[in-house]
Structure 1
Amino acid sequence: MKKAVIVVLGAGLGGISMVFDLKAEVGKNHQIVLVNKAESFQFTPSNPWVGVGWREKNDITIELAPLMAKHGIDFIQASAKKLVPEANKIEMEDGSSVDYDYLIIATGPELAFDEIEGFGPEGHTQSVCTVDHAVQANAAFEAFCADPGPIVVGAAQGASCFGPAYEYAMILDKELRNRKIRDKVPMTFVTSEPYIGHLGLGGVGDTKGMLEHEMRQRSVRWITNAKVEKVEATTMTVSEHNDDGSEKTRHQLDFKYSMMLPAFRGIAAVRDIEGLVNPRGFIIIDKHQRNPKYPNIFGVGVAIAIAPTEKTPVPTGVPKTGYMIESMVAATAKNIGALLDGGEPKEEATWNAFCLADFGDRGVAFLAQPQNPPRNINWAAEGMWVHLAKVAFEKYFMHKVRKGITETYYENAVMKLLAMHKLK
């Protein structure tokens, strides 16, 4: 059997799980290569905690080179410049190239801050999309606390990951109360969602009621169907829209601190490759996670194309939660294994949604099976247990990465929840 080179591009939640699943599935006979532009894996779900100083960068990052060496996986730290699928090659920014027999694209997204004037960490708003952004957000937050004022938090038009925006708003509320300055901070939540708790999923269970309740309890004002027009040093211009998409009113929101999530798009290295990506640069896949035009290329995680659940007055994307990503990874590993054995892909990801949204002192959990309605399970719950579960999840997942464990953590957690709440 010819030794195949299997390259995983990207080392986020999907990529790091992918190399370990591949190692378990085919690693004895084939070469696995992880390519990532950063030197470390970062546990993205903990970024909101970094943004208020509850975690340090070192708490949620793991250096990749020694980790991969420990588990017999090759690691290349380099930034991809251009994928050349006809040549089975990735051209890198440093002038080198990486050849592959099979490629799994797990890069996550490019953050489209530039689509809005004055938006993002290089403009006037903060971000918790990466750990370095969260570190910067925390530094800005500490300066803000010395001279508090209005805060604006939320997710811009086209955003597809709303959970961290809700988490950060609630965590800010908790931290400001801890510092006894919450009374000096009017807070507004701005979102492209048609209603609070939509989450890009059409809502799950009573997420609308639960999240509205949390915001009322915490004195957080909200604006939905919102489009961020531009951001200046202390003012955000937001247009609020009617259900038919027409403009309803325009808001000039003053702020001293703001964290807004951007829209996502595919990374530049894959954008505009006909047949590989959609117009936003996300990887087109079939039910086996495989690209129809380039059958030796697979996609997992946030990098893949999923059509919105429904048309909304202001564009919203679809989230890819850890549970869904885990199932994509497991299916992809088995499908590549089948191809290497001379067979055909058969495994399909479940594409269910499960999320633990931490609010600092409590939280909301939701489970959608399948992700898009109508669903077999459409459940949400809240309480202190969600906060504790997310803390435990962080500790376990970091342990899993260090040990190279391929156990399906999300699947196990969901099964326990189903049994606990008698949802089976």
Structure 2
Amino acid sequence: MAQVVVLGAGLGGTIMAYELREKLGKAHEVAVVTRGSRYSFVPSNPWVAVGWRQREAVEVDLEPVLRRRGIALHPQGAKRLHPAERRIELEDGSSLAYDYLVIATGPELAFDEIEGFGPGAHTISVCQVDHAVAAKSAFDALVARPGPVIVGAVQGASCFGPAYEFAFILDKALRDAKVRDQVPMTFVTSEPYIGHLGLDGVGDTKGLLESALRQRHIKWITNARVDRIEADKLHVSEIAEDGSVARAQELPHVFTMMLPAFRGVAAVRDIEGLTNPRGFILADKHQRNPAFPEIFSVGVCVAIPPMGKTPVPVGVPKTGFMIESMVTATAHNIHRLTEGKEPDAEGSWNAVCLADFGDGGIAFVAQPQIPPRNVNWSSQGKWVHTAKIGFEKYFLHKIRSGVSEPFYERLALQVLGIDKLKEVRIAQDAGTV
């Protein structure tokens, strides 16, 4: 009997535990290590920040779900991984041994890399539900005393979709409060152009997002390096192609939400052979670490090199579809190892995303996520907002019920009815793609 441990219980870690339990059956033990027992649906955080959702509506207590599925929960959290000993040191001083480990910790938020950045300093955040709850108070203060707003993503960020979402959701919430006319808004991003998204764009995301910003009277600055943030102004430098400062600006603000750069969490950071210098987990095409072959990784914690040189550092996002494909491949590969076989499954690394704008939105499909692509599609409309609500309800139901169903492919092929994806699926089934 093998002991399989999942480190982390976010989007990737939770469905990883579910899929392992389903794949391995009762012949092997599955355990989850995380801080606390609450799962939070991160894509809903922008709605929480403007009062469209309450915290309780987007959280799930995992303890009864995992117990029902026969998955052990260790809510103490991990203090340090000791891979040479196949052991996780927990925060309460105890240890948990493993035969196979899946690291699904998500990232640590690197707010400290910029002076004055982050909750507790001069900006708000929607990266965690605690941050989003606190942001609601800041939003209420903004409505009561309108002033300049900045939204965007700093240098090194890799997750740009939520920044665009929050800008448009905030615009809608301020219009609903009838104070939008008193709130100048600027979108500040490290991307080389609007709609780059860390992916060199998908379909016409550049044109669609630029148009959406213009229609909502939101100005933008690209190739932006945030130097420091004060209580009433943000210091930003626009970087030229040669790396020089093309222009330095001081932007006034009373309300700022910018997404940070990510790094690996402290429990796994700086372990030779396991992580890159940024603390992300090194993995081969089977999600397996080369130095410690009993360790796999899925989700945002996985090391993926940037697509290419840009004037300001820009990372590559790990989208839900990509993470789900990593999870399915990893469950399959660990199952093969328990049967004395070698891993042979690879994640598809495709992207299907819904960017909600509060009363509309943009959807895009990238197959594969990194160009060149077989499918490079984007579209917009009010249907995206409706689809995002349906996605939220479905996924939370999935977490509450302990189901390991691959949602994103179903979304792409059935719910959204994207013809191009259907064509690709037919071609895949026929063996021509």
Q: Is TM-score (shorter-chain normalized) higher than 0.5?
A: yes
Tell me if the contact between 2:5 and 2:98 (Cα under 8 Å) persists in the aligned partners.
yes
1:23-422 to 2 correspondences below 5 Å: 23-416=21-414, 419-422=417-420
Q: Unaligned stretches of 5+ in structure 1?
A: none
Provide the C-alpha distance between the structure 2 equivalents of 1:413 and 1:201, rounded to a whole number of angstroms. 21
SS at match of 2:26: coil
Question: 1: distance between equivalents of 2:36 and 2:255?
Answer: 28
1:418: how far off? 7.8
Deviations along 1:384-406, one digit per CA (max 9) or x if unpaired, are 11100000000000111111111
Give the paired residue count.
422
- Residue by residue over 1:36-71, the C-alpha shift from the partner in whole angstroms, topping out at 9 and shown as x without a partner, is 113200111111111111011111100121221121
CA contact (8 A) 2:361 2:385 kept: yes
Distance, in Å, in 2 between the alignment partners of 1:157 and 1:371 is: 21
Kindly provide the amino acid, as one letter, of the partner of residue 119 in structure 1.
F
CA RMSD of aligned residues (A): 1.0
CA distance in 2, matches of 1:94, 1:234: 41
Q: Distance in 1 between matches of 2:298 and 2:30?
A: 16
Matched, 1:6 2:11: no
Matched letter for residue 320 of structure 1? K
- Give me the whole-angstrom Cα distance separating, in 2, the residues matched to 1:180 and 1:76: 47
- Answer with 287-296 or 71-80: which moved more: 71-80
- Structure 1 residue 419: Cα displacement: 4.8
Post-superposition shift, 1:244? 2.1
Q: Distance in 2 between matches of 1:419 and 1:386?
A: 12
3-state SS of the aligned residue for 1:414?
helix
The C-alpha deviation readout for 1:303-328, integer Å capped at 9, x for no partner, is: 00001112110001110000000000
- Looking at structure 1, the residues matched to 165 and 34 of structure 2 have their Cα atoms a distance apart, in angstroms, of 27
Are 1:125 and 1:258, in contact at CA under 8 Å, matched by a contact in 2?
Answer: yes
Instruction: Choose 177-186 or 72-81, whichever is displaced more.
Output: 72-81
CA distance in 1, matches of 2:7, 2:39: 13
User: Matched residues in 2 for 1:183 and 1:384: separation?
Assistant: 23
8 Å CA contact 2:305–2:316 kept in 1: the answer is yes
Gaps (5+ residues) in structure 2? Answer: 424-433
Quote the sequence identity (%): 61
4+ residue segments displaced more than 4 Å: none
- How far apart are residue 247 of structure 1 and its match? 0.8
Q: Is the 8 A contact 2:35 2:75 kept in 1?
A: yes
State the shift of 1:421 in Å. Answer: 3.2
SS where residue 274 of structure 1 aligns? coil
Instruction: Report the residue type matching 2:202 in the other structure.
Output: V
Q: What is the SS of the residue equivalent to 1:27?
A: helix
Counterpart amino acid of 1:395?
K
Q: CA deviation at 1:420?
A: 3.5
Query: What amino acid sits opposite 1:382 in the alignment?
Result: Q
Give me the TM-score of the superposition, normalised by structure 1: 0.98
The aligned residue for residue 427 of structure 2 is none
Contact 1:202–1:310 (Cα < 8 Å) also in 2: no
SS at match of 2:188: strand
TM (norm. structure 2) is: 0.96
In structure 1, the partner of 2:428 is none
2: CA distance, partners of 1:328 / 1:253: 40
- Decide whether the 8 Å contact of 2:236 with 2:249 is kept in 1: yes
Is the 1:159–1:316 contact (alpha carbons within 8 Å) kept by the matching residues of 2? yes
Return closer, same or farther for 1:376/1:417 CA change in 2, 3 Å cut-off. farther
